[in-house]
Amino acid sequence: MNWKLIRIIDSILGIPLIRLISILPPARNNKTPIPADISPKKILLIKFWGIGNIFMLLPSIRALHDAFPEAEIDFLTLEGNREALKTLGVVNNITTIGTSSAFKFLRSWKAAVETLLAAGYDLAIDFEQFARFSALITFQSRAARTIGFATRGQHRHNLYSRTIEYDNHIHITRSFYALATAAGVKPAFSADLHLNNLETLHSRGSHLTSTHGIDRKEPLVIMHIGTSDNFKERRWPPAHYAALADLLAKRFGMRIVMTGLPDESFLIAETSQHLKNSSRVTDLGGQLTFTDYCALITVADLVISADTAAVHLASAVNVPVVGLYGPNTPRLYGPWGIGGLGLCAGFDCSPCITNFNSKINTCRHRDGRGACMKALSVEEVFTAIKKNYCVPSAPFRLAKLTGTESKPCVA
């Protein structure tokens, strides 16, 4: 299903539907205060769009586990996100809704509501920032208490027991954590996660690199090419990635692994055509399961990606990551782990996709679509990487760099 179309339908149908439901007695009765002295035994977390958003939820999920160690924490999401949640292993049960067709969507929606009703949740937290559909299904769950964002212009707030005003000036990890705080977790945010299966993922990642002939003594850089079909203007040009790969390999002896979704393999092929030296580059685009991809990230020394899930996966496991931004802003969606760096050309029209416009927009920049990403130059990105990760005085210097550049750097 077309994501832009889904969001348009969500806005056109969702707003009047929520307004209608909100005036009915069940919705008015849903506005009961949350007792501070009652700990929930069954908690439902809801997040549909964006695997990267699920990674940004990890500090909140950990805090909920700490605050309510006896509670069962379940998750409602889209079917495409199931593997990510299973890999992370941070929730008990996963209920999904399929979007491969309108029929499957409606059928799985009905089945999901039946599952939620049968579970009988004490608390449901909706982490969607703007979608009306998530507010509706949170209401349908009939959880004893519900929490969600009150986002300007989205008309969602009337369907929750308690709302938190969405703050467009803080990182999304902190916005999510504000909802968890409203549920009773400690207000002190921490991104120090210590995933239970991190050691297993690291072992799997080491096996992958060995299988593909990658020497782990060399600094390993993951370049994630592409951003899925959701607002393609977020992509950094393939020629830019190729030039950066050549520079990093030549100047610092870095080994580059290029990754991407199967339907974005053409982007990696285009990137490869621009390479001056392909001997230092391995193409694993479309060849990895999600679990293998996670495992590979855990053994990387540096990740470079445009605004997509790779940035937040690396942040979650504290692998240094350089995020490249234009239509979105690193202030809200930038790296949030140790050694993360968000770069943006800073056009006056950026960000153009926001949680206030349901991330529906068409780039009309006078220099052409995606001009803000093209304006982020290879030289600028390389210089930032050199300064932050490569030179002896770098604040996050990569451990495998034992000397200075092999040749004078031309940035």
Please tell me whether residues 211 and 306 are part of one structural domain: yes
- Residue 121 inside a domain? The answer is yes
Please tell me whether residues 224 and 370 are part of one structural domain: yes
- Residue 215 inside a domain? The answer is yes
Please tell me whether residues 383 and 344 are part of one structural domain: yes
Are 334 and 311 contacting, i.e. CB atoms less than 8 angstroms apart? Answer: yes
Q: How confident is the model at residue 409 (pLDDT cuts 50, 70, 90)?
A: very low
Identify the domain containing residue 301 by its residue range. 198-390
pLDDT digit string (tens) for 280-330?
999 999 999 999 999 999 999 999 999 999 999 999 999 999 999 999 999
What residues contact residue 239 under an 8 Å CB cut-off, 6+ apart? 270, 271, 274
- Residue 131 inside a domain? The answer is yes
pLDDT digit string (tens) for 363-408?
778 887 789 999 999 999 999 999 999 999 999 999 998 654 544 3
| Residue at which a domain ends, from 183, 217, 251 | 183
Report the distance separating Cα 14 and Cα 158, nearest Å: 13
State yes or no: pLDDT of 2 exceeds 60: no
Are 188 and 71 contacting, i.e. CB atoms less than 8 angstroms apart? Answer: no
Please tell me whether residues 381 and 276 are part of one structural domain: yes
Counting the structural domains of the chain, the total is 2
Please tell me whether residues 219 and 325 are part of one structural domain: yes
pLDDT digit string (tens) for 261-274?
998 889 999 999 99
Name which of 1, 270, 43, 7 is nearest 143 in CA terms.
43
- Residue 188 inside a domain? The answer is no
Q: How confident is the model at residue 109 (pLDDT cuts 50, 70, 90)?
A: very high
- Residue 395 inside a domain? The answer is no
Place of tokens 């920032």: 129
Look over the chain and give the mean of its residue pLDDT values, rounded to a whole number: 88
Please tell me whether residues 142 and 204 are part of one structural domain: no
Q: Determine how β-strand 321-325 pairs with β-strand 302-306.
A: parallel
**Alpha-carbon distances, residue 296 vs 100, 222, 253, 319 (angstroms):** 28, 8, 19, 11
What's the gap between Cα 107 and its chain centre?
Answer: 27
Residue 200 phi, psi dihedral angles, 5° rounding: -65, -45
Are 224 and 187 contacting, i.e. CB atoms less than 8 angstroms apart? Answer: no
pLDDT digit string (tens) for 141-189?
999 999 999 988 777 888 899 999 999 999 999 999 999 999 999 999 9
- Residue 18 inside a domain? The answer is yes
Are 304 and 345 contacting, i.e. CB atoms less than 8 angstroms apart? Answer: no
| Residue at which a domain ends, from 116, 150, 183 | 183
State yes or no: pLDDT of 95 exceeds 60: yes
Please tell me whether residues 221 and 273 are part of one structural domain: yes
Look up residue 47 and give its two tokens: 């997040």
- Residue 70 inside a domain? The answer is yes
- Residue 89 inside a domain? The answer is yes
| Residue at which a domain ends, from 154, 183, 212 | 183
Longest dimension (CA), the chain: 73
